[in-house]
């Protein structure tokens, strides 16, 4: 061994010692606690404060006071002591997702509120995210990433680069599995919060079951959502949560289906449209069925079922669309657009009498219809 090589190995050993900064024993954060400015945690907070500034002026954030108050109320019911440390931001996005930043910024996508069938299901998501905050998972993850990548560098040097490549893979793997461990931890703490604050913990497993059904019906099942790739396998998770929920009799019983349906009703149309625009019709159909079963306003949902068939336009979709629109019009709360879509489908099926009746109903119901001139032109063409 040359002396340069020996020296470099010695130096590499020194480097290894230097790089093995302690990840430390990270305690849960206390209510009202702020990191000291010299800490690495303060650096993470600083960066997330910037993100929060962006959020505060983002057009994607839903600012409706009632909806925000509703989400906050559930969060504060889950844990009154941490409630003041967390700011919730509802972000308009059709997918199922939520995130928790170390500085207390909780982002909830509208896709989650749409899919939660009741207060308890929404509480299970908020509780899970809050648990990430309480257990300082961002800080844990950052220190873990820092020390694993540091170690990977050491191996690369000490072995002349060969083992380093393998170590790199191992480091990546450890980051991912660490993350899943934290997800499990958050599931458990979240479920405890639900139980202790009066929510029925059995709803927690159900939301995952619903997601699995959606995924299985997806037009692109191979295109796994980001969600399923970083979280514990949904099936395992649902089963674990169901088991945990049954472990004790001392448990909450609030489900809150009616209230959730009422609070989200003004938004459901927009959010369903967001989801429909993703053009995953198989998934959309399952979601609609779930919401209908959950007792949400069915006129609106049946209208969207019709829209789904109309846009997909395969096989017998045309007739299925007409059937869905017709069912919607019989339910009392179908949007006026149902008649417009029904008119279009009847017309293209050659049934002009039915088409005319539908278009006329649409125009009567929608006095200020932006497309009035076009629909009137259709009516003329039919004569």
Partner 1 sequence: MTKRMRRIARPENRTWGRALAVTAIVLLLGACAQTQSFLTSENLAQKPANPRVLIMPTDVELSELTTAGLLEPNAAWTATGRSNVDAALDSLLAGRNATVVRYDKNGGAGSAAETQLLKLHSAVGSTILLHKYLPGFALPTKKDKFNWSLGQEATALRGPYGADYALFIYLRDSFASDGRKALIFVGALLGAGIQGGRQVGFASLVDLRSGEIIWFNRLVSQAGDLREPELARGATENLLDELPL
* Residues of the shown chain interacting with partner 1 in the complex, contacts defined by CB under 8 A: 4, 7-8, 11-12, 14-15, 18-19, 21, 35, 37-40, 42-48, 51, 53-54, 56-57, 97-102, 107, 129, 132, 137-138, 141-142, 145-146, 149-150, 152-154, 157, 182, 186, 226-227, 229-231
Q: Which is nearer to partner 1, 127 or 306 (CB)?
A: 127
Residue with tokens 């599931």: 187
Q: Give the relative orientation of helices 281-293 and 202-216 as an angle to the nearest 10 degrees.
A: 150
Q: Using alpha carbons, list the distances in angstroms from residue 308 to 17, 124, 168, 169, 225.
A: 60, 30, 45, 43, 21
Q: Which is nearer to partner 1, 177 or 230 (CB)?
A: 230
- Cβ atoms < 10 Å from Cβ of 320: 18
Q: Which residues contact 247 (CB under 8 A, 6 or more apart)?
A: none
Q: Which is nearer to partner 1, 95 or 239 (CB)?
A: 95
Give least dist CB 112 to partner 1, A: 12
Q: Which is nearer to partner 1, 48 or 67 (CB)?
A: 48
Give least dist CB 228 to partner 1, A: 9
- Tell me how far apart the terminal alpha carbons of the chain are, to the nearest angstrom: 97
Give least dist CB 180 to partner 1, A: 12
Q: Which is nearer to partner 1, 80 or 230 (CB)?
A: 230
Q: For residue 99, list its beta bridge partners.
A: 107
What's 85's DSSP letter? G
Q: Which is nearer to partner 1, 185 or 354 (CB)?
A: 185
Q: Which is nearer to partner 1, 164 or 306 (CB)?
A: 164
Beta carbons of 108 and 271 less than 8 angstroms apart: no
Give least dist CB 12 to partner 1, A: 6
Nearest to 343 by CA among 334, 333, 356: 356
Q: Which residues contact 154 (CB under 8 A, 6 or more apart)?
A: 12, 15, 16, 19
In whole angstroms, what is the distance from residue 346 CA to residue 349 CA?
5
Q: Which is nearer to partner 1, 104 or 252 (CB)?
A: 104
Give least dist CB 168 to partner 1, A: 10
Give least dist CB 226 to partner 1, A: 5
Beta carbons of 282 and 218 less than 8 angstroms apart: yes
Q: Which is nearer to partner 1, 173 or 246 (CB)?
A: 173
Give least dist CB 216 to partner 1, A: 19
Can you read off the two tokens belonging to residue 163?
Answer: 């083992």
What does residue 296 show for φ and ψ, rounded to 5 degrees?
-75, 165
Name the strand (E) or helix (H) holding 281: helix 281-293
In whole angstroms, what is the distance from residue 192 CA to residue 23 CA?
27
Tell me the three state secondary structure of residue 137.
helix
Give least dist CB 166 to partner 1, A: 16
- Cβ atoms < 10 Å from Cβ of 270: 13
In whole angstroms, what is the distance from residue 82 CA to residue 193 CA?
12
Residue with tokens 């609609």: 288
Give least dist CB 148 to partner 1, A: 9
Q: Which is nearer to partner 1, 280 or 337 (CB)?
A: 280
């Amino acid at each position: 061994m040359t002396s340069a090589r020996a020296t470099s190995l010695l130096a590499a050993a020194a480097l290894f010692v230097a790089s093995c900064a302690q990840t430390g024993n990270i305690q849960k954060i206390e209510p009202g606690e702020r990191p000291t400015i010299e800490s690495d945690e303060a650096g993470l907070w600083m960066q997330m404060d910037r993100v929060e500034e962006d959020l505060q002026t983002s057009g994607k954030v839903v600012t409706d006071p009632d909806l925000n108050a509703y989400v906050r109320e559930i969060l504060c019911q889950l844990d009154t002591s941490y409630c003041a440390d967390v700011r919730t931001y509802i972000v308009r996005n059709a997918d199922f997702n939520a995130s928790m930043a170390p500085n207390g910024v909780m982002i909830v996508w509208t896709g989650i509120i749409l899919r939660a069938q009741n207060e308890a299901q929404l509480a299970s998501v908020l509780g899970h995210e809050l648990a990430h905050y309480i257990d300082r998972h961002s800080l844990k993850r950052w220190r873990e990433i820092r020390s694993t990548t540091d170690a990977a560098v050491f191996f690369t040097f000490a072995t002349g680069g060969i083992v380093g490549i393998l170590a790199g893979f191992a480091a990546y793997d450890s980051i991912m599995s660490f993350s899943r461990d934290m997800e499990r931890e958050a599931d458990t703490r979240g479920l405890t919060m639900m139980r202790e604050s009066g929510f029925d913990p059995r709803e927690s497993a159900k939301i995952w079951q619903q997601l699995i059904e959606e995924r299985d019906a997806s037009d692109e099942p191979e295109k796994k959502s980001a969600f399923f790739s970083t979280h514990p396998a949904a099936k395992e998770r649902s089963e674990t949560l169901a088991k945990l929920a049954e472990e004790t009799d001392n448990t909450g019983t609030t489900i809150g289906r009616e209230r959730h349906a009422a609070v989200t009703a003004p938004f459901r149309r927009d959010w369903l449209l967001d989801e429909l625009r993703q053009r995953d019709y198989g998934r959309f159909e399952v979601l609609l069925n779930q919401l209908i079963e959950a007792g949400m306003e069915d006129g609106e949902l049946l209208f969207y079922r019709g829209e789904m068939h109309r846009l997909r336009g395969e096989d017998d979709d045309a007739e299925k669309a007409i059937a869905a629109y017709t069912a919607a019009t019989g339910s009392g709360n179908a949007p006026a657009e149902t008649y417009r879509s029904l008119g279009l489908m009847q017309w293209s099926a050659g049934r002009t009498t039915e088409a005319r009746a539908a278009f006329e109903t649409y125009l009567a119901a929608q006095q200020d219809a932006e497309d009035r001139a076009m629909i009137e032109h259709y009516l003329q063409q039919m004569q």
